[in-house]
Every structure is written in C-alpha cells, then in structure tokens.
Chains A and B, each alone.
Chain A
Amino acid sequence: MEIKHQQTQSPVLFVLSITMLLLQVAIVPQLGIFAGKINLMLILALYVCLNQKTTHPVVFSFVAGVLFDLATTGPLGLMALCLTLVSGWITTFVLPRYTGEVSYALIIATVSSLTVSLLYHIILLIVSSEASFFSTMLARMLPTFLCTLIVSIPFFVHPSARSKNVMGTRSKRSSFSYRR
C-alpha cells in the first residue's frame, strides 16, 4: 500500500514542484507589493511538510531553498538554511500534534512564513551592507510575509490539500510518531 501511494503521489508532487518553480522564476519577480515578493518555495515546502507528501520533507525543503537561492540574488544557501530549519521544526514538533485541521495548518503556515521571512532578512541585514533595520523590515520583510501568507491560504484550505499522505493515512501523524 505504501509503495502504491508513493507512486500515485510522486507525479503530482513533481508537477506541483515544477509549476511552483516556474512561477517563482517567471512570475514572482514581475509582481510584488513594495519590495516584497511571494515565496512560493516556502509555500511548497510547508505544503509538503504538513501533508507529508514525501518521505524526506527536510531534503525536499532544502532543495526548494537552494532553487530559491539560485533564482534570486541573495546569498546562496540562505533560503536553503531557513527552509531546512523550518521543515525540521515542523516535522519534529508540529506534525505529532497536527490532525489536519485547517485552522491549525494556517497557524503553522503563518508562524513559518513569519519566521522564514524574519530570519532571511535578519541574516541578509547581517551579511550585507543593508543600512536601515526598520526600512528592511517594513518595506521588505513584512510585504514578503503578507504576500506569501495570502498566496499560501488556498494550499491549506482546499480539500485536496488534505489528501492522503505517502503513508496512506490522513495527515495526523508525523514520521517521528514512533517516539510517543
């Protein structure tokens, strides 16, 4: 059963990933509020982690982060680090309590988006010569967070988003559930 589900999920995940990547490369740079841009790779990583669409969500998030870094002009490895940390946090601490509720998924998406946006821009402030903390936070971080959060809502509200995971069950147990 597990193998069967993996086979059915993989093409969907592959198509979704490619689509999100293309959108991230082609559309996102053209659209945005102030300096804020939608982080589709973050949304993809959250979607995959929360719904256990792959057996290696951390690696998937890392790869998504690397692709984001390649598509942007920021330091390489920064978004990869952020997404790796967030996906590790989700798989370790969030998934054991996650029962597939929309509200809970939205809370996790909000916290994750805010954390990643904040972490990304703070590290950028440290490593680059960006001058003003407040302008960076208000003109870049906040719009990025809000754009990402708004675009991510359909991914966690739509019924198909809560489809069966690779283990063949609804999203209510993490890969670390054996520890309980």
Chain B
Amino acid sequence: MPRSFRQDRGLRAPLKSRSGIQAHMSFVACTIISVVVLTVSCRMGNANPLLMLRSAFSFVTTPVIYAGSLITAPVRALGNVVSNLSASPSSISDLRAENEQLKAQLVQLQEAQETANRLQQLVQLKNTYHLQSTAARIISGDSDTWSSSLKIDKGSNDGLAVGMPVTTSSGVIGQIIATTPTTSTVLRITDESSSVAAMVQSSRAQGMLTGSATGQIYLSLVRSTETVHVGDMIITSGLGGVFPKGLPIAQVTNVENTAGSLYLTITVSALSKGENDEEVLVITSLTEDQRASAEDIAAADSQDRQSTQESSENSSSTTAVSEGADDTSDNSTNTSTNTTGNGAAQ
C-alpha cells in the first residue's frame, strides 16, 4: 500500500468516525424532518402553513420562470411543429371537427351576448320610465305589402290586448292591432293608418305622428308659429291615454313652412327601425303620471282653438281678397324648404 494512502487513512480515521456519526445523525434528522413536513403537508391540505414557503419561493422565482418561458419558446414551437407533423390524420380531422364546433359555439355565445345587451337595454328602459310591461320577441316582419306590421311571440294568453303600445330600447315602434292566444300583430308607426299623439321635446309643440304609404313619417297638426328644428326629438305626448308620456319616437329630419299654411310640414325619422329589432317591450298599462296632465290637455286644446281661429280668419280674408282684387298672382304660395340639418321654421 502506498505510503501516502496509509498516511491518508491514518489521518482520516478519527475524523471519519466523527463525520460518520454526524452523517448518520444528519440522515436520521433529515428523514424525520421530511416525514414530518410531508405528513403536515398531506394532512392539512390548503391550510398548510408551509404553503407560505412555497408562495414565497414562487414569488421570488417568478422572473426566472418568465425568462425560462421566453428562452424555451422556440423549442416549444418546434415541439408543436413536430407533434403536428407526426399527428395522425384521424386526430387532425378530429381537431378540425372540434374547431368547427368551437367556432359555432363562439358565434352562439356572441349572439347570446348581443341578446343579453339588448335585453339589458330594455330593462333599463323599463326602469327609467317605470313601465308596466311584458317583453316579447319579434317572430316575423311584414306579412303583406299592404300594411307595415310585425308579429311578436306573445298574445292574449300573456295578457296582451289590442291597442297596447310596443316599444324597443331605442323608441316606440307601434301598437298592437290584433292578438291571438300566442301571438300579436303590431302596426308600425310607419304604416299610413297609424297615428300617435306626439310632441316636439324642445318646444313642447304638440301634433300627430302619422305614417304614409311610402314609409315616411310626418308630424302633422303643428302650428306654423311653433319653433321646430331639424334634429329635434319627438316624444309621445300621452294624449289619448294609449302611449305613456315621454317615450322617444323619432327625430325631425325636415321642416317645411309653406306661406299661408296653418301647419308646418315636418318629416321625421323613426328611432327604431323595427326590422333590426328582435326584442320588444309591450306596455300593458299606464300609471297616472304616465298619462297626459291637465296642462298638456289644455295646451293642446288652446293650440287647436288658435288654429281653428286662424283658419277661419284666413279663409275670410282670402275670400275678401279674391272678391276685391284681380291680381291673384300676388297671393301665390311662398314655400320655404329646409332640407339641411340646421334648418328651422317658425
């Protein structure tokens, strides 16, 4: 045996005996600690206080994990390519089918989201105006070319009746004209037989909103002395007791003041187009504050009386002029038309 090795053994023997005991002790201690920690970890589950250590470790090593993720990104991408290349045709076709299914589900979910948004707007409308109403879904549009109407999926079984107003979150769309136990037909405000008592929101000038065969909507019976601007909002006046007061209906798009005429010719555009709506709110009853007040009725009456008076005065003066003068060409109608957005008529 070489001398150095013997010397080495001789020197190390006492040390080794000490270190051997230490090694045994450390082995026993480490084993016991491991078993205790393992037992605590398994028995206490999420209430384990040692989990704080793991959280701290995780917090400290987060930057390292991010760095590792960045470093291994190309390798993982390569792995994906390899696994894609080695994928069996059946698994690829399965994945394609699953992809199609997921796409269809995505569209359904987006549709559900849109529906939820619309319903939420309806609920907001209901809350804003304190409407007693029933929600319904539009199930079909115009059934014929003669009338402008639509069908909803609620009928007399749900408490709906003829005459009830129908609105969407953007504005009034019409009035129920017929019901079956399960469906109702709604006459749109664009129909020529439709008329809704309305008023200009800014000037409170009252009139009647009527449809036409062309689909245009007019606000009639507004005196030419009233101030109406293009862009003004038209709301329900509550007169007649059918529509609640204050619901938005349309917006003024054109105002014509024909000289000598008692009334303005006001063209409006409906806020709710109807064909783009899917859910509606049928107003089943009105509260007292939703009806037109006594002041509104009095204002409408005075407006009507004034118009009648002016009409009779005009007719008498016209008769006198036609009788006393030959130059009837001087009384030709002077029409001023405002088609632009900033037009106004008085």
Contacts and interface: CB of A to CB of B under 8 A. Distances in A.
A and B: bona fide binding partners: yes
Contacts of B67: 26
Main secondary structure on A side of the interface with B? helix
A110 B53 CA distance: 32
Given A75-B41, A80-B34, A175 B27 contact: no
A56 B71 contact: no
Interface in A109-162: 123, 127
A126 to B, nearest CB: 9
Given A65-B34, A70-B53, A175 B68 contact: no
A80 B68 contact: no
B268 to A, nearest CB: 64
B42 A75 contact: yes
Contacts of A69: 54
Interface stretch (B8-16, B126-134, B151-159, B225-233): B8-16
Contacts of A10: none
Interface string A155-180: 00000000000011100000111110
Contact of A77 (B22, B23, B37): B37
Interface residues of A, number: 41
A127 B16 contact: no
A127 B31 contact: no
Interface stretch (A27-35, A36-44, A99-107): A27-35
Nearest to B76: A30
A55 interface: yes
Contacts, number: 112
B68 A176 contact: no
A148 to B, nearest CB: 18
Contacts of B22: 56
Interface of B: 8, 12-13, 16-17, 19-20, 22-23, 26-27, 30-31, 33-42, 48, 50-51, 53-54, 57-58, 61, 64-65, 67-69, 71-72, 75-76
What 9 A-B pairs are tightest by C-beta distance, nearest first?
A26-B68, A77-B37, A77-B38, A81-B34, A30-B72, A62-B30, A70-B57, A76-B41, A178-B16
Given A26-B64, A71-B61, A87-B27, 10 more contacts: A25-B64, A26-B61, A70-B53, A70-B57, A75-B42, A76-B40, A76-B41, A77-B35, A77-B39, A84-B30
